[in-house]
């Protein structure tokens, strides 16, 4: 090999120096085109996603018109309200054999309750017997609930009959033996210029002459109860039905979701759970203070449902959602932000929203002055979920539920 050829060979294989400028210059045209395609695609995708959102926010009307609500800072969950796991000592009865046993009554050792499929049932031992059906089939869907019926509050009258509040169909007196049902008050009728749209709970005087009951809203029905809670509408009422004269009158109005109701021993007042406001009101239905109202207990650590007497002279309160302190209460947060409530209900259905509501079951015994004497908890509702009522009988608490497929039984000797 000649020296010249060797030099030429080395020159041909000399490494090429690649600078930072070379690729940019080489692919400048291609890169600009790809970037434009990417930008157009991104903007198109953003517009595709943003347009429905803007439509929801700006055009779609919210089903609720919430008001700004002022709730006090939740009380500390300490002392009597100290969290515990005592409700987890309960056992489930009739699991998956009934759904939504909202309220419970007993005659001796025989128990009665109303279920989500519109029936009044009798519980004897381990067996379930149908007493009657207040509405008509079919049952099971949201649309069918108003014709199927939804029994809520239930009480035993002085003559051994059952008094039942059906959210849609009205007030009934039921013979627990024959199943004969007599309608006392029709649901949906106008009383004082407003419809009975959401009949909830009831209380009967010892002589059976007066029945007091709550109508939670004239705007919302039971199947839209979350709408009522979020809207915080002050259109609930307490009414009185005279079983002798058959007269129906309004005792108190402008309440925010009046729920459970319980007569005081003198029968001149009733306690009413004002669920949205996390408090219990005392409404005077007879005597010198008739027509008046005051507060029995304010600023509860949860949202009260039914109220029932305890064997020690107090009252059992059921709460299926709490306002944790320390902690974060979603309902308290939203109470001051109605625009967020509107947006939420534009996007999500009630069924979807219920999945995001933290489950926490709390039952408490209150005495005169609203003083808490003891409370039982089930954080996350692992054993007793969605509690709606506490019915005490023979040393046990029987826990009703507006949603769960069972009744929970708690032996008080274990807690």
Q: What is the DSSP letter of 144?
A: T
Task: Flag residues of the chain having pLDDT under 70.
Answer: 1-58
The phi, psi pair for 85, rounded to 5°, reads -120, 25
DSSP β-bridge partners for residue 215: 199, 237
The predicted model scores a pTM of 0.86
Contact 302, 71 (CB under 8 A): no
The whole-number pLDDT of residue 171 equals 98
Q: How far is the C-alpha of 231 from the C-alpha of 345, rounded, in Å? A: 10
The whole-number pLDDT of residue 62 equals 87
Domains of the chain and any CATH numbers: 79-411 (2.120.10.30)
The 10s digit of each residue's pLDDT in 218-245 is 999 999 999 999 999 899 999 999 999 9
Question: In this structure, what token pair is assigned to residue 283?
Answer: 């409404």
The whole-number pLDDT of residue 45 equals 64
From residue 36, alpha-carbon distances to 31, 44, 190 in Å are 9, 12, 65
């Amino acid at each position: 090999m000649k020296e010249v050829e060797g030099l030429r060979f080395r020159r041909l294989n000399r490494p090429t120096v690649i600078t930072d400028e070379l690729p940019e210059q080489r692919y400048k045209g291609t890169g600009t085109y790809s970037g434009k395609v990417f930008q157009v695609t991104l903007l198109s995708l953003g517009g595709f996603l943003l347009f429905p959102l803007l439509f929801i926010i700006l055009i779609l009307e919210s089903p609720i018109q919430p008001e700004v609500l002022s709730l006090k800072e939740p009380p500390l969950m300490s002392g009597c309200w100290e969290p515990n796991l005592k409700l987890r000592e309960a056992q489930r009865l009739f699991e998956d054999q009934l759904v939504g046993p909202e309220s419970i009554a007993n005659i001796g050792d025989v128990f009665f309750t109303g279920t989500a499929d519109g029936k009044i049932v009798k519980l004897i031992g381990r067996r379930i017997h149908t007493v009657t059906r207040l509405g008509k089939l079919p049952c099971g869907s949201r649309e069918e609930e108003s014709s199927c019926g939804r029994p809520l509050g239930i009480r035993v009258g002085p003559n051994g009959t059952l008094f039942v509040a059906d959210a849609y169909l009205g007030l009934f007196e039921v013979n627990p033996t024959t199943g004969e049902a007599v309608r006392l008050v029709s649901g949906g009728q106008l009383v004082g210029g407003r419809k009975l749209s959401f009949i909830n709970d009831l209380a009967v005087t010892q002589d059976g002459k007066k029945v007091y009951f709550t109508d939670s809203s004239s705007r919302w029905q039971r199947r839209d109860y979350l709408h009522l809670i979020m809207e915080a509408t002050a259109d609930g009422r307490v009414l009185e039905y005279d079983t002798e004269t058959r007269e129906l009158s309004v005792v108190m109005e402008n309440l925010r979701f009046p729920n459970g109701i319980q007569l005081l021993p003198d029968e001149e007042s009733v306690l009413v759970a004002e669920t949205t406001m996390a408090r219990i009101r005392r409404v005077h239905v007879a005597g010198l203070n008739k027509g008046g109202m005051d507060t029995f207990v304010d600023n509860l650590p949860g949202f009260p449902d039914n109220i029932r007497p305890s064997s020690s002279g107090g009252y059992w309160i059921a709460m299926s959602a709490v306002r944790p302190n320390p902690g974060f209460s979603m309902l308290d947060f939203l109470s001051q932000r109605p625009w967020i409530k509107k947006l939420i209900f534009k996007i999500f259905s009630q069924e979807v929203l219920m999945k995001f509501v933290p489950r926490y079951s709390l039952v408490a015994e209150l005495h005169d002055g609203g003083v808490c004497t003891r409370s039982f908890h089930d954080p996350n509702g692992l054993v007793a979920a969605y509690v709606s009522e506490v019915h005490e009988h023979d040393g046990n608490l029987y826990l009703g539920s507006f949603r769960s497929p069972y009744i929970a039984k708690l032996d008080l000797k274990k807690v």
